[in-house]
Amino acid sequence: MSGRTRARACPERTCMGCRKRAAKNDLLRIAVIEDECVLDPRGTLPGRGAYLHPDMACYDLAVRRRAFPRAFRSRGPLGTAELQRSMEHATGNAA
């Protein structure tokens, strides 16, 4: 190598709602704790993670497409009420 440093590739993830790829830092990580979907702002909760844009439209699309149980490979329903409240607070869209 000629002394140049290579730029590191930014990890990309796919939004569960709109299905568009984006930089991992631009998306919110979602995790499951006791059958309830919760925001994971630090990205440190154990288990599988799924990603959403910080936009209620993407959240609504994910709910309508039933993306949460599929993303977390859950056999039963997952609660999303806490996630909805957290998303509304994070995006400033109180319904």
How many CA atoms lie less than 13 Å away from 68 in the CB half-sphere? 25
Mean of pLDDT over the chain: 89
> Does the residue 1 lie in any domain?
no
Q: Between 77 and 17, whose confidence is greater?
A: 17
pLDDT at residue 94, rounded to an integer: 62
Q: For the chain, how many structural domains are there in total?
A: 1
This prediction's pTM: 0.82
- State how far the Cα of 6 lies from the Cα of 45, in Å rounded to an integer: 31
For residue 83, what is the domain's CATH number? 3.30.1230.10
26 pLDDT above the threshold of 90 = yes
Name the band, by pLDDT with cuts 50, 70 and 90, for residue 2. low
What are the residues whose beta carbons fall under 8 Å from the beta carbon of 80, sequence distance 6 or more?
A: 36, 37, 63, 68
Range of the domain at 19: 12-91
Which range is least confidently modeled, 38-42, 51-55, 73-77? Answer: 73-77
CB 53 within 8 A of CB 27: yes
Query: Do the domain assignments include residue 64?
Result: yes
Are β-strands 50-52 and 21-23 bridged in parallel, bridged antiparallel, or unpaired?
unpaired
